[in-house]
Amino acid sequence: MKTKNLSSGFLIFFLCAAILALSSQPARTDTVRIVVNGSQVQFDQPPIERSGRVFVPLRGVFERLGASVVYDNGTINATGNGRTIQLHIGSTQAVVNGQTQTLDVAPFLVGARTLVPLRFISEALGANVQYDNSSQVVSINSGQAPPPAQAPASLTLTNLKPRNGGNVQVARPAVSGGFSQPVDPNTVKLTLDGRDVSSTTYVSQNDFLFTPTYDLSQARHTVEVKGNSAAGAAFDRTWSFTSSATSNTNGAAANYLSNLSPTDGSTVGSTFTVSGTTLPNSTVKIAATGSALLGGVLRIGLGTYTNTVQADGNGYFSQSVNVQVPSGGNIAVRITSIAPNTNAGAASTLNLRS
């Protein structure tokens, strides 16, 4: 009889623990529809419910409310309709128009997506929020006509290097350009002659940069850049250039990166110095991205850092980098060098640990 009571008690304890574990996980609200100024918003990351609050990806809703949103190193800044809002990942403290307010639940990360409380930000931007429980529709009205959606043709590529139809005298030219309007970097795909080089391309909201790790043939080459603008409009743009040189021909020296520090695989702190040598007077772009495992399974993106420095007359460059990553996390540092006059490029990636 005692054994039976013990088994029953253990079963009840196990069930309670399982229920508590499940209840601590954020619930996806795939059935909830978000409508802004009469138009439904589609998300690649479904809304999530925590403690009775609906969280949505950082962009999508708020830019439709006329707000400009910037995310940097765990800090979220939204500006629009004469209002300013600041939030921090993992913090329930928010600042609205200079006044501190407290959130019920803090913003959080799911993969590479930043999720923020829908009602709080919408109302902080002056919008009216209504929820219809029967239809499970969250209606947000800014009180003004929604901004017109950008047509795909309105986004253009700017400052292209090599220029469209141009000719380069180096076998590994730096391929770069800008966007005429902000894009969603997570959607951008870049191909060179049909070869997907996205994994080694630096992409931000405003520009992109790629340097081939192999010599281009003496031929015409086509670059394709496609993805979505920050407003959600798809774009697909191409341009071509001709390479008429192999390495070190026509007097154009091949670019390089050497003596890089820290070395690949090193352990560094949140602040560290990246240095090395390249062709004298080259422009060196340094982009660092931190990441960590959540629960030992899901990798989430953390802080980012980008900066451009000029190598000196001897080719030496040095730059302090700051990326907030917890102990045991990873920091990927992409270094790209572009030589003056010739546009000869060289690139290297350091995989560091914090």
Q: What architecture (CATH level 2) is domain 26-141?
A: 2-Layer Sandwich (3.30)
The SS3 of residue 45 is coil
Task: Provide DSSP, 185-254.
Answer: GGG-EEEETTEE-GGG-EE-SSEEEE--SSPPPSSEEEEEEEEEBTTS-EEEEEEEEEE---TT-TT-PP
Rg (CA), the chain: 25
β-bridge mates for residue 238, sequence order: 224
pLDDT at 250: 46
Q: Where are the alpha helices (DSSP H) in 83-139?
A: 118-124
Task: Provide DSSP, 174-197.
Answer: -EEEEESS-B-GGG-EEEETTEE-
What pTM did the predictor assign?
A: 0.48
Q: Which of 17-31, 245-259, 315-329 has the lowest mean pLDDT?
A: 17-31
38-61, pLDDT tens digit by residue? Answer: 777 777 777 887 777 888 877 667
For range 168-188, the mean pLDDT: 88
Task: Provide DSSP, 133-190.
Answer: TTTTEEEEE-SSPPPPPPPGGG--EEEEESPTT-EESSSSB-EEEEESS-B-GGG-EE
**pLDDT-above-90 percentage for the chain:** 16
273-329, pLDDT tens digit by residue? Answer: 999 999 899 999 998 888 765 544 444 455 678 888 999 988 999 999 988 877 888
Residue range(s) occupied by CATH 3.30.457.10 in the chain: 26-141
Distance CA 43, CA 56 (A): 8
pLDDT band at 6 (very low <50, low <70, confident <90, very high): very low
3-state helix, strand, coil in the chain (%, to 5): 10, 45, 40
Pick the CATH number of 152-243 from 3.40.50.12780, 2.30.30.40, 2.60.40.1220, 1.10.357.10: 2.60.40.1220
Q: What CATH number is given for 258-353 in this structure?
A: 2.60.40.10
CA distances from 102 to 55, 92, 95, 128, 231 (A): 16, 6, 9, 20, 29
Written as one letter, the residue type at 154 is S
132-136, Cβ contacts within 8 angstroms, sequence gap of 24 or more = 135/33, 136/29, 136/31, 136/32, 136/33
Which letter does DSSP use for residue 92 in this model?
A: -
Distance CA 85, CA 100 (A): 10
Residue range(s) occupied by CATH 2.60.40.1220 in the chain: 152-243
